[in-house]
Structure 1
């Protein structure tokens, strides 16, 4: 990959749901790098958006992140949108391997991809945006694994923000409420509840929150943003 003439934004989990909406929104002003596990799905989005390129990696395999990220250009924006829900079970029934898988994707992969791309982000005075959740503030029965990973991601984002102020890198943690996505349908099925699309945020609303963070004039930073269904 080579740096494009426009600002460069990498979005993980960009082949569907929130990540896909963010990619479409940022593609209006940025060269977007589409992150995803499936080569076919990534290539389809790249072809649709035009000024885009591919970042195919399984975030559950940390070694593959290191191999692929070394080929990335310097980034102006890094959006961590990929994530796993994990088991929807009481703590007494959660398998530790399932817990570790969720923490690998939701926390460790975020750390590793940011760590590797941070020199370029510093050079471009870039932005790191983590797509968190309302579960990053409040946990509920049967959601211990997902909530714990999002609490951890919030703490990690807070630390990165303070560490990188002196380097000119801005860090924003975005906490959507429930969003109308495939993941939401999966969650509602786990909960045994009805999925009604109109009850939830649109992915485009979250993408607009990302746009707000990216376009905040220099000298200011949106540290944390919560957006909920109206």
Structure 2
């Protein structure tokens, strides 16, 4: 079974539909009608997770008996200069974008090891290069990159593959929010299609067992 966090919207819901024909799915999110409807549509198992409370993951995951792949797709962003962002923003951003994936991985790792499965971290090009105004988000994504690199080295002897995908700006509700924070208009055609990112993630999951795609950067191609 393949577990996707942040499954109810953006890249997550597109990825779920991409994988549904060939993967049994566990769709994780904050709960609500969108998650319920998607699980019903795809005959998937829902998993309610509050990523701001990683201590709750052990209890939430107790019902899971089999997990082959984990796609850490959920995330949050609040733009702002270091001089103006309070510690609450940094704490929440790091909790959701870094601590939650680390803890969920720890909790699920025995199941993934048993399946010799894969873990995919949906990062961002902000995890490769930091820009002004993106401090807390970029820091969380740089840390997520380090987590993936360490996990890849540690889990290779257990047959677990670890991939990081670095999409550039993608046409999602999160990108709409970012553009609002930047005080700019949103044009979906100017960004990557979420389906293109989803197809890339699926390609990494479905790669032959003797191959691991360690780091994949996804940028818009020629129009």
Task: Give SS of 1:70's match.
Answer: helix
Structure 1 stretches of 5 or more lacking a match?
A: 1-7
Shift of 1:61: 1.1
1:21 aligns with 2:14: yes
Q: Which residue of 2 aligns with 1:110?
A: 101
Match of 1:93 among 79, 84, 93: 84
Take 2:94 and 2:46, find their aligned partners in 1: how far apart are those partners?
24
* 1:140-192, Cα deviation, whole Å (9 max, x unpaired): 11100000000000010000001000000000000001100000010011111
TM norm structure 2: 0.97
Query: Superposition RMSD on alpha carbons, in Å?
Result: 0.9
Shift of 1:70: 2.1
Take 1:102 and 1:74, find their aligned partners in 2: how far apart are those partners?
29
Take 2:124 and 2:212, find their aligned partners in 1: how far apart are those partners?
19
- Mapping of residues 1-230 of structure 1, within 5 Å: 8-50=1-43, 52-86=44-78, 88-230=79-221
Instruction: Verify the 8 A CA contact 2:57 2:107 in the aligned structure 1.
Output: no
* 1:89-120, Cα deviation, whole Å (9 max, x unpaired): 11011100110101001011101111011011
Aligned length, in residue pairs: 221
